[in-house]
Amino acid sequence: MNENQPKDPCITEIIVANNGPLKIKGNLEIQLASGEIVTKEGTTGFCRCGVSKIKPFCDGSHRNIEFIG
Ligand code: FES
């Protein structure tokens, strides 16, 4: 089994990473603020720190600001 996929596909698995993004496992269809639809598979990280340059997704920038949350 791929660890990036949810254990039970009927359950949405959400992980709040310590001092990092919100990770959601599974196949996602996301409507961006622009209205564009983006699809993601596996684990997708959503920015919680506010500094990502690819919001709503995490780009790892939280490490540069030593985000706590
Ligand atoms: S949580 Fe990773 S860039 Fe914001």
Question: Is the distance from the beta carbon of residue 24 to the nearest atom of ligand 1 less than 6 Å?
Answer: no
Q: Which pLDDT tens digits describe the chain residue by residue (69 residues)?
A: 577 777 787 889 999 999 999 999 999 999 999 999 999 999 999 999 999 999 999 999 999 999 999
Q: Which whole-number Å values give the CA distances from 40 to 11, 21, 64, in the listed order? A: 16, 15, 25
Question: Is the distance from the beta carbon of residue 44 to the nearest atom of ligand 1 less than 6 Å?
Answer: no
- 10 within 8 A of 29, measured Cβ to Cβ: no
pLDDT of residue 1: 59
Quote the ligand 1 centre to 19 CA distance (angstroms): 9
Phi, psi values for residue 26, rounded to 5°: 125, -175
pLDDT of residue 16: 98
pLDDT of residue 8: 81
The closest-lying atom of ligand 1 relative to the alpha carbon of residue 49 is 4
Question: Is the distance from the beta carbon of residue 58 to the nearest atom of ligand 1 less than 6 Å?
Answer: yes
**Among 24, 69, 23, 34, which Cα is nearest to 50's?**
69
Q: How many residues does the chain have?
A: 69
Assigned token pair, 8: 């039970």
